[in-house]
Amino acid sequence: MAATAPFLGRLLKLLIADDSNVIRRRIERSQQVDRLQVVRLASNGHEALELFRQTDPDVVTMDITMPQMDGNEGVARLVEMKPHVRILVVPALADKATAVEAMEKGANGFLSKPFTDRQLNDALEQLIAGA
Amino acid sequence: MLEEQDIRAFVYGTTQYFEVAAQQAATVGSPFLVTQGAPEIHDYTGVITVSGRRDGVVHFSAPRGMLTVLLMKMNESNVTHDNLRDLVGEVANTISGNVRRDFGKVFVISVPTVVSGHAQSIELPPGCRPMVIPINWRSHAAKLVVCLN
């Protein structure tokens, strides 16, 4: 409960990190969660960290297989910077080991590609439930 | 050498992609081995390098028209060359990543590289025999090529 208190009732800032422009735009366009507002889009792990520092988002969607820095390392670095950030990992990798690793690094949710708009919104709703 | 269950994993990954991402199923033709040379490619080809327990390449090759309609089905109005390149890489990446459901994390995939144009062929690792999985979606034909040692 203490971990989610900083978000209570306010608009949440969303950062989208994926090396595919099509996917970044798809998430930006499809997300319909009332409390979420997309603040920035990042195309690799390094850029995600940089934009995270600049914009201080509350929620991040993160791909795993990205150039320069993979998503799991990115997840660990984001959690170090802001322990109560909510992270939805959105990889092409669909195996359980990848999901477990992401959760162990500090992710809060896992949605493998491809996904429907409904699956995306359900995952985001679940991610911020109670926040 | 690919076994039947390996091919089934790629076929499932391919049909799943179109069914979920485009909300419209694709049909997959009978997979076949290419015995001479490299398979022909379409306008855009996304290439994934595989390492780990298996090594080789997986590529998804599609004509411009198919990728354009696929983007439109995803409600994407930007159908420029750059976005078509992006999409073909993403399809290759997603299909390859999804087969880890069956192959596990020892099936390591690279970020995609993309080739545009028919003139270039895709370099295949020595010794592997490419398996072509024909894909039909709406009126378009594409292919997934799997070449693993």
Q: What is the 3-state secondary structure (H, E, C) of B127-145?
A: CCCCEEEEEEECCEEEEEE
- Counting residues of chain B whose pLDDT is more than 90, the rounded percentage is 81
CA distance A70 to A59: 18
Distance of residue A91 Cα from the nearest chain B Cα, in angstroms:
8
Closest chain A residue by Cα to residue B98: A94
pLDDT band at B127 (very low <50, low <70, confident <90, very high): confident
Among A69-73, B48-52, B54-58, the minimum mean pLDDT is found in A69-73
A114 touches chain B (CB under 8 A): yes
pLDDT digits (tens, 9 = 90+) for B103-117: 999 999 999 999 998
Distance of residue A26 Cα from the nearest chain B Cα, in angstroms:
7
Q: Is the dihedral of CA A49, A109, A43, B13 positive or negative?
A: positive
Structure tokens at A8: 């209570």
* Sole residue written with tokens 């690919």: B2
pLDDT at A131: 63
Query: What are the structural domains, with CATH classification, of chain A?
Result: 5-128 (3.40.50.2300)
Q: Is the dihedral of CA A2, A7, A13, A14 positive or negative?
A: positive
Domain of B123?
Answer: 4-148
Residues on chain B touching A116 (C-beta within 8 angstroms) = 20, 23
How many domains does the structure of chain B reveal? 1
Among A6-10, B40-44, B101-105, the minimum mean pLDDT is found in A6-10
* Sole residue written with tokens 């039947």: B4
Q: The domain that contains B17 carries what CATH number? A: 3.40.1550.10
Q: How many CB atoms lie within 10 A of CB B136?
A: 14
Model-level pTM greater than 0.80? yes
pLDDT band at A70 (very low <50, low <70, confident <90, very high): confident
pLDDT digits (tens, 9 = 90+) for B9-27: 999 999 999 999 999 999 9
pLDDT at A2: 45
pLDDT band at A1 (very low <50, low <70, confident <90, very high): very low
CA distance B52 to A7: 41
pLDDT digits (tens, 9 = 90+) for B64-87: 999 999 999 999 999 999 999 999
pLDDT at B2: 83
B48 touches chain A (CB under 8 A): no
Using an 8 Å Cβ cutoff, are B57 and B125 in contact? yes
- Counting residues of chain A whose pLDDT is more than 90, the rounded percentage is 85
CA distance A82 to B26: 43
Q: What is the average pLDDT value for chain A, to the nearest integer?
A: 92
Using an 8 Å Cβ cutoff, are B60 and B91 in contact? yes
Q: List B residues 7-36 in contact with A (Cβ-Cβ < 8 A).
A: 16-17, 20-21, 23
Q: What is the average pLDDT value for chain B, to the nearest integer?
A: 94
Using an 8 Å Cβ cutoff, are B9 and B99 in contact? yes
* B113 backbone dihedrals φ, ψ, rounded to 5°: -115, 155
pLDDT digits (tens, 9 = 90+) for A110-128: 999 999 999 999 999 999 9
CA distance A99 to A106: 11
Distance of residue B92 Cα from the nearest chain A Cα, in angstroms:
10
pLDDT at A62: 96
Looking at chain A, list the stretches that DSSP marks H as alpha helix, in order from N- to C-terminal side. Answer: 21-30, 45-55, 71-81, 96-105, 117-128
pLDDT at A6: 63
Q: Is the pLDDT of residue A3 over 70?
A: no
Closest chain A residue by Cα to residue B15: A114
A23 touches chain B (CB under 8 A): yes
